Amino acid sequence: MHRPGQPGDLPEAELLWARWGLLAVLEASAEEEELAFVHRTGHWIDGGGLHLDDCGTTCWTLERLGQGRFVLYGEDESSGVKWHKPSIDMLAGAPDWLPLDTLRHLIDGYELGCVYWYENGAWARAPYPDSLDDDGLDCGMSRFVDRSDVLDALDLGQDAPVGPEEILDHAERRELTPGLLESLVAGSEYDHWELPVMLRALHGTGLAGTGVSVPDGASSTPVGG
């Protein structure tokens, strides 16, 4: 990936959503859900989309806005955008369907390092001056760009009935069914997984595909569009 990032560095939005969403499903827990209004870390999904926070150095949101539109925004400590002189308008050229009030609030609070938006099959961002060294995209999002990095992040246990390659394939095809998650949890030596919470996250991501029934304990309304 380039520093600063280029729109072409990012995978297409549905693929980014699937990889990020899979980690959100596997990390879902009731304890983390209760931290929604305090400070949550890891990967998760809520009404505002997919989130990533590593507890101090990088914090990101990917939001689905319908009609093939997405917005990616966040901050990594490597970004020099918000401190750059002269100032950089991160919303220059931005379409009006972005959550502009939210983004401007974050910019005003010096809580944002970059904004990318996706429409008509392509990512875009505001223009940067040649003097900008980094916008944080590489350190924040490179974990989702290389498929092998995503696979390395999938800790399913040694005797899991489903391997990392298979479960990632299902997620990327939007075929991550409740039954597949149930078999993973039932056949794993891990005891930290909470299936009802994982199923809620699964439904929120939409990675089970259309027409998949929602099990008891899972929300009936998709989260994040």
* CA distance to 59, 61, 75, 140, per residue, from 52 (Å): 5, 7, 10, 9
CB 115 within 8 A of CB 91: yes
Which residues in 98-208 belong to E strands, given as ranges?
114-119, 122-125
Spatial strand order of the sheet with 49-53 comes to 42-46, 49-53, 58-64, 70-76, 114-119, 122-125
pLDDT reported for residue 35: 62
CB 81 within 8 A of CB 132: yes
DSSP state of 62: E
Q: What is the mean pLDDT of each run of 10 residues along the chain (225 residues)?
A: 95 98 94 67 93 89 96 92 92 97 95 96 97 93 95 90 95 96 90 93 93 47 38
Q: How far apart are CA 80 and CA 45, in angstroms?
A: 27
CB 204 within 8 A of CB 49: no
**Which secondary-structure segment (H or E) carries 148?**
helix 147-153
* Token pair of 134 as six digits: 């980094």
- The count of other CB atoms within 10 Å of the CB of residue 89 is 12
Contacts 24+ apart (CB under 8 A), 181-184: 181/25, 184/156, 184/160
CB 111 within 8 A of CB 104: no
* CA distance to 99, 187, 195, per residue, from 191 (Å): 39, 10, 11
